[in-house]
Amino acid sequence: MAKRHIQACAVAGFLNIFGDGWTWLVIREAFYGATRFSEFQRNTGIARNLLSQRLSMLVDEGILRRDDVGERGPRYEYRMTPKGEALFPVLVTMIQWSNEHVFGAGREPIRLLERNSMKQLKKVVPTTARGRVLHWPDVVAQPGPGADKAARMRILESPQGIDD
Amino acid sequence: MAKRHIQACAVAGFLNIFGDGWTWLVIREAFYGATRFSEFQRNTGIARNLLSQRLSMLVDEGILRRDDVGERGPRYEYRMTPKGEALFPVLVTMIQWSNEHVFGAGREPIRLLERNSMKQLKKVVPTTARGRVLHWPDVVAQPGPGADKAARMRILESPQGIDD
């Protein structure tokens, strides 16, 4: 991304890392087990200079780590850090929405199954502690401790917003 | 995005809609209740030509609908369709990851609470039917009915991949 968002907003903070058309394909590859530059390149089709920039950015952000595993000269492997692995729920909700709403039933490119039961993953949705599914109207938004004045105003102006 | 991904991949399909730094800010605003061009513009800071392009794209994709509510000449309101509202779990996992890993505890820009209990939303994660939390190693990926040859090969090549 050319320009970083400066809003104190969790969505903007996410987009400063992932707000382009390639970064999530790199993340997909890391989840699929790609570790080498050439694997990322072949499996995404991303141009080498862009891939190099995205991998460096993901290392700088602490989402991938880069290990030198070369015995004769440098050879790098990229692996997920815990911060990267924590993207798993985002990946799953993204895949589930895309399967259902972009491709549609019977045309899904991928299925995610639980390894033990070999059953398809349940839809990942917000729920109450007792398991009732929550929709957006069931939720209110409150400025967090990191909200600046603009973020606070935006949240409180929303019908979903409540004061802290 | 300049160029559409042609891979038969749920992640690529998602990125063809959301793979830029602005579209999710527009979605955020729609969840916050923005309906007018001027509201989207003011609350995101997006340039008018880009905003216009993104709103049209989201209408074309069936994520927002555009209603003419003008009494003297056209005046448009943009509202979420059910396909747009179905992005709620993606938004929540994105916000929860960003709060935890981009901003960190005590610096979250926003908190999401359940309206009835006023408790913070539980972390939204994949679970088994019985509620056990699943991580990526607990999951296998299978080519879906919409996988083309390349997608099938990519999935089966992964340590997580299994045949259908």
pLDDT of residue A2: 58
Give the C-alpha separation, B105 to A67, whole Å: 29
DSSP structural state of residue B22: T
Say if A79 is an interface residue toward chain B (CB within 8 Å).
Answer: no
Q: Which of A70, A92, A76 lies closest to A39 in space, CA to CA?
A: A76
Residue appearing with tokens 């917003």: A161
Is CATH 3.40.50.1820 the right assignment for the domain spanning A1-86?
A: no
Of B86, B110, B148, the CB nearest to A10: B110
Q: Which of A93, A137, A55 lies closest to B11 in space, CA to CA?
A: A93
Residue A18 dihedral angles phi and psi, to the nearest 5°: -110, 10
Say if A127 is an interface residue toward chain B (CB within 8 Å).
Answer: yes
Check CB contact under 8 Å for B10 and A108.
yes
Domain range summary for chain B, segments of one domain joined by +: 1-86, 87-124, 131-164
pLDDT of residue A73: 87
State pTM to two decimals: 0.95
pLDDT-based confidence at B2, cuts 50/70/90?
low
Angle at A121 between CA A117 and CA A112, to 5 degrees: 95
ipTM value > 0.90: yes
pLDDT per residue over B68-93, tens digit each? 998 888 899 999 999 999 999 999 99
Minimal CA separation from B57 to chain A, in Å: 14
pLDDT per residue over A46-78, tens digit each? 999 999 999 999 999 999 999 999 888 889 999
